[in-house]
C-alpha cells in the first residue's frame, strides 16, 4: 500500500532531510527523484562508507563526471562521512555546480556539535517523522496506532506478531547501529537500562534523580542520555510554559519518544493491550496526540511553539501552543467519547485566570460542541483545525 507523505520537498534547491531511522527518508526520496536524473549514494553500505571515509574528495570527481541528465545527488546518512559536506560546499560555491544535493541524516545536532559545515544556507532543512494520521485519511486505525505506532515498515507486515518482532528489533538496531557503532556512549548496558526506564516514563515530567537511581548512574549522565535521544531524533522535550502567571508553575520538562510503538518496545510493554477506558489507554492517547502535534507543527506551522503547564498544586494543561499573532491555545486531551463540563474544570479555570487565550479539548467525543469558553473537538478534526485549516481566532 502506497501512502503519500504530506511533507513537501523542493526540486529546485538543495536540502537536508533529517529523521530517525525507519521514518522512510530513502523511500520518500526514491518516489520523488527518478533514477534517470538522480545519483544515489548510500553511506549505510559499509563499502561505500569506507570508500568516502578514505577519500572524501572523490565525491567531487564523481559529481563532475556525471552526465548532463543527472540533476540530483542524493547522499543517504551524511553524518557517517561528515567531511563530504565540505566537498558539497566546494561544488556549490567554487565549481558552481548545477546539481541539487539532497542529504539525509538522523542527527542534525550531532553534525553541528562536531563543527561540521552545514552549507551556510545553501541548503534548506526538513524533518521527516513516522506516518501522521492525516496521511491515511479515513483509513486511519487509532487502536493499531496506539498499539504499534506509525513507523512505515509496520504497514508491510502481516500480523501483530510480526509487528512486535519488528519493533523489538528496531530497538536493538538503534542501540547497535545508531549508538554503539557511532561511539555515542561508553557503557551500552547502562544506556540500555536507561532506555527502558525512560520509555516507561514517556510523556511524564522528567525526574533525573529517580531515573539515575533506577539505572545506577548519576544525574548528569541521565541528562546526557536524554540529550542523545533528542539529538538522534528519537524523542522530543516538551518544555514548561513560561509566562507571568499568578500561580507558581513547575519548571521541569517532559519527554516524548517519537513513536508509540518504539516507546512500548523499549519499555517492554508491547504485550499490554490498551483497553479503552483504562488509565493506560488514556496515557497512550495523550502521548499520541502530542506526538502528532510535534509532526504537524514541523510540517505546517514551524513558527508555533509547544509547552505544557502545571501549577504547584498539580493543576495541569496538557498542551499549550503559542502562535505568532494569535492568542495562546490551551489544550486539554481526553480519551473519553462523551466529554462533560466536569472533565474540563482545570482547563476552564486556568484559562479564565490567564485571560486572553483560546481553550479547546481534543477527545474521542464524535460531537463538536462548546462547553463554557472551551471548544470540544473530535481529535482528528481539532488537529486539522489547529495546524492545517485556516481559522479565525478571537480573544475571549
Which residue in this structure is represented by grid cell 510480526? Answer: 162
**Among 381, 375, 241, which residue's Cα sits nearest to residue 318?**
241
- The predicted structure's pLDDT at residue 187: 87
The pLDDT assigned to 280 comes to 96
pLDDT given at position 109: 64
Residue 17, all three cell numbers: 532531510
How many Å from the N-terminal Cα to the C-terminal Cα in the chain? Answer: 45
CB-neighbour burial class of residue 135 (10 A; exposed 0-12, middle 13-18, buried 19+): middle
Q: What is the pLDDT of residue 318?
A: 95
DSSP 135-181: GTGGG--HHHHHHH---GGGGG--SHHHHHHHHHHHHHHIIIIIIIT
Cβ count near 328 (within 10 Å)? 21
Q: Set out the domains of the chain in order of their start, with CATH numbers.
A: 15-127 (3.40.50.300), 133-396 (no CATH)
Count CB neighbours of 142 within 10 A: 17
Whole-number pLDDT of residue 330: 96
Encode burial over 45-82: b for 16+ CB neighbours within 10 A, e otherwise. eeebbebbeeebeebbeebeeeeeeebbbbbbbbbbbb
Q: What global pTM score does this model have?
A: 0.91
Three-state DSSP class for residue 89? helix
- 104 touches 27 (CB < 8 A): no
Q: Give per-residue pLDDT as tens, 191-247.
A: 999 999 999 999 999 999 999 999 999 999 999 999 989 988 999 999 999 776 655
| Residues lower than pLDDT 50 in the chain | 390-396
Element (H, E) at 322: strand 316-322
User: How do strand 305-310 and strand 316-322 relate by DSSP bridges?
Assistant: antiparallel
Alpha helix positions (H), the chain: 25-32, 46-54, 58-64, 84-93, 108-113, 142-148, 160-173, 188-200, 208-215, 219-231, 260-266, 279-300, 345-354, 379-387
Whole-angstrom distance, CA of residue 317 vs CA of residue 389:
23
Choose among 92, 71, 97, 93: nearest CA to 11.
71
Amino acid at each position: 500500500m502506497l501512502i503519500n507523505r504530506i511533507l513537501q520537498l523542493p526540486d529546485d534547491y538543495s536540502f537536508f532531510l533529517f529523521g530517525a531511522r525507519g521514518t522512510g527518508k530513502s523511500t520518500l526520496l526514491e518516489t520523488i527523484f527518478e533514477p534517470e536524473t538522480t545519483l544515489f549514494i548510500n553511506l549505510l553500505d559499509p563499502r561505500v562508507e569506507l570508500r568516502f571515509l578514505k577519500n572524501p574528495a572523490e565525491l567531487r570527481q564523481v559529481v563532475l563526471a556525471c552526465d548532463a541528465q543527472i540533476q540530483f545527488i542524493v547522499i543517504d546518512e551524511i553524518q557517517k562521512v561528515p567531511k563530504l559536506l565540505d566537498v558539497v560546499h566546494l561544488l556549490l560555491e567554487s565549481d558552481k555546480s548545477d546539481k541539487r544535493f539532497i542529504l539525509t541524516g538522523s542527527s542534525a545536532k550531532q553534525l553541528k556539535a562536531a563543527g561540521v559545515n552545514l552549507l551556510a544556507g545553501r541548503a534548506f532543512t526538513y524533518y521527516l517523522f513516522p506516518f501522521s494520521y492525516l496521511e491515511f485519511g479515513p483509513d486511519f486505525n487509532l487502536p493499531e496506532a496506539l498499539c504499534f505506532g506509525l513507523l512505515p515498515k509496520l504497514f508491510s507486515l502481516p500480523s501483530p506478531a510480526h509487528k512486535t518482532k519488528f519493533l523489538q528489533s528496531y530497538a536493538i538496531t538503534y542501540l547497535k547501529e545508531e549508538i554503539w557503532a557511532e561511539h555515542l556512549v561508553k557503557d551500552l548496558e547502562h544506556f540500555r537500562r536507561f532506555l527502558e526506564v525512560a520509555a516507561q516514563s514517556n510523556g511524564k515530567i522528567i525526574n533525573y534523580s529517580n531515573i539515575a537511581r533506577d539505572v545506577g548512574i548519576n544525574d548528569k549522565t541521565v541528562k546526557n542520555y536524554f540529550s542523545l535521544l533528542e539529538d538522534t531524533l528519537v524523542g522530543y522535550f516538551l518544555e514548561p510554559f513560561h509566562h507571568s502567571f499568578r500561580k507558581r508553575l513547575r519548571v521541569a520538562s517532559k519527554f516524548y519518544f517519537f513513536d508509540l510503538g518504539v516507546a512500548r518496545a523499549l519499555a517492554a510493554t508491547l504485550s499490554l493491550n490498551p483497553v479503552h477506558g483504562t488509565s493506560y489507554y488514556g496515557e497512550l492517547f495523550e502521548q499520541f496526540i502530542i506526538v502528532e502535534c510535534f509532526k504537524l507543527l514541523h510540517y505546517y506551522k514551524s513558527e508555533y511553539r509547544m509547552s505544557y503547564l502545571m501549577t504547584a498544586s498539580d493543576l495541569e494543561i496538557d498542551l499549550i501552543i503559542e502562535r505568532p499573532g494569535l492568542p495562546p491555545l490551551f489544550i486539554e486531551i481526553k480519551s473519553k467519547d462523551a466529554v462533560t463540563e466536569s472533565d474540563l474544570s482545570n482547563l476552564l479555570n486556568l484559562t479564565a485566570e490567564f485571560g486572553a487565550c483560546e481553550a479547546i479539548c481534543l477527545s474521542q467525543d464524535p460531537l463538536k460542541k462548546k462547553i463554557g469558553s472551551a471548544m470540544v473537538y473530535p481529535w482528528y478534526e481539532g488537529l486539522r483545525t489547529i495546524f492545517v485549516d485556516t481559522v479565525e481566532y478571537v480573544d475571549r
